[in-house]
Amino acid sequence: MPVEPQPAAAGGLLSAPPSSRAGVLGGVKHGFFGREGGVSSGIYASLNAGTGSKDDPANVLENRRRIAAAFGVERDHLCGVHQVHSPTAVFIDGPWTAERPHADALVTTTPNLAISILTADCTPILFVDADIKVIGAAHAGWRGALAGVIENTLRLMEEKGAERSRISAAVGPCIHQSSYEVGPEFEAEFIATDAGFARFFAQGAGDRLHFDLPGFCASRLEAAGVAQIETLPLDTYAESKRLYSHRRSVHEKAGDYGRNCSAIMLG
């Protein structure tokens, strides 16, 4: 069935579809979008923004158009990267005219360009230096966070005039410690980098452990010199009606999963 586009949200910011916001980002246009307000059905219901999913591409495009419309821009001005769990951050000054780069963070100084990250348990982090008008968005899964995607995003923002003392960062919806069970080999990879990282693991049943992904990301931000940090209390695994979760889809044997979209824009 063809998707009938809905009218763009009139007037104020992010009137539809629903999204969560972070106070630390102040008046900068942003939103952490979950499952609500889209046209997809079944396991993708309803605001699946993931072009890499097996959802009907027409539904995904309409969902992405709705997210863009919430910012008052066309769909091609909702920009992301081909995420590969890397530490790579790239600068963007307009909609991509070729294939999206393989990277996991974006930085821009261009108004009316919504830079975005897709997640389904990994951590989306939105950044702003409101004084100099530089913004960033990072996809911080455990691999990217351990490898330095947060630090590289901050360095690129600095190259564009930002100062760490002025940067605010919001750690968005992701899988939280009570839901994130891992094995001892997972902990060993972190401890091999820094023995102090053991503090982000809590003992579970048997040899199982529980990893604090949002706490780890917030600590990396703090260690990098970011003073204004907010962590949203939203667990993607636990919030089945509001957010997509890869791990939950695996446990439910769903076969695939939708993607949450987090975006920020200078306007």
Q: Are strands 89-91 and 105-108 parallel, antiparallel or unpaired?
A: parallel
To the nearest 10°, report the CA torsion of 236, 164, 104, 66: 60
Structural domains of the chain ordered from first start: 22-176+212-265 (3.60.140.10)
Write the Ramachandran bin of 130: left for phi over 0, alpha for psi from -120 to 50, otherwise beta.
Answer: alpha
User: Measured between alpha carbons, how far is 38 from 191 in angstroms, rounded to an integer?
Assistant: 41
Residue environment code for 180-201, b if the CB has 16+ CB neighbours within 10 A, otherwise e: bebeeeebeebeeeeeebeebb
Each residue's pLDDT, cut to its tens digit, for the chain (267 residues) gives 333 333 333 333 566 899 999 999 999 999 999 999 999 999 999 999 999 999 999 999 999 999 999 999 999 999 999 999 999 999 999 999 999 999 999 999 999 999 999 999 999 999 999 999 999 999 999 999 999 999 999 999 999 999 999 999 999 999 999 999 999 999 999 999 999 999 999 999 999 999 999 999 999 999 999 999 999 999 999 999 999 999 999 999 999 999 999 999 999
User: Measured between alpha carbons, how far is 41 from 205 in angstroms, rounded to an integer?
Assistant: 36
Q: Maximum Cα–Cα distance for the chain, whole Å?
A: 54
Cβ contacts of residue 195 below 8 Å, gap of 6+? none
User: Measured between alpha carbons, how far is 262 from 122 in angstroms, rounded to an integer?
Assistant: 12
Q: Which of 160, 165, 155, 173 is nearest to 262 (CA)?
A: 173
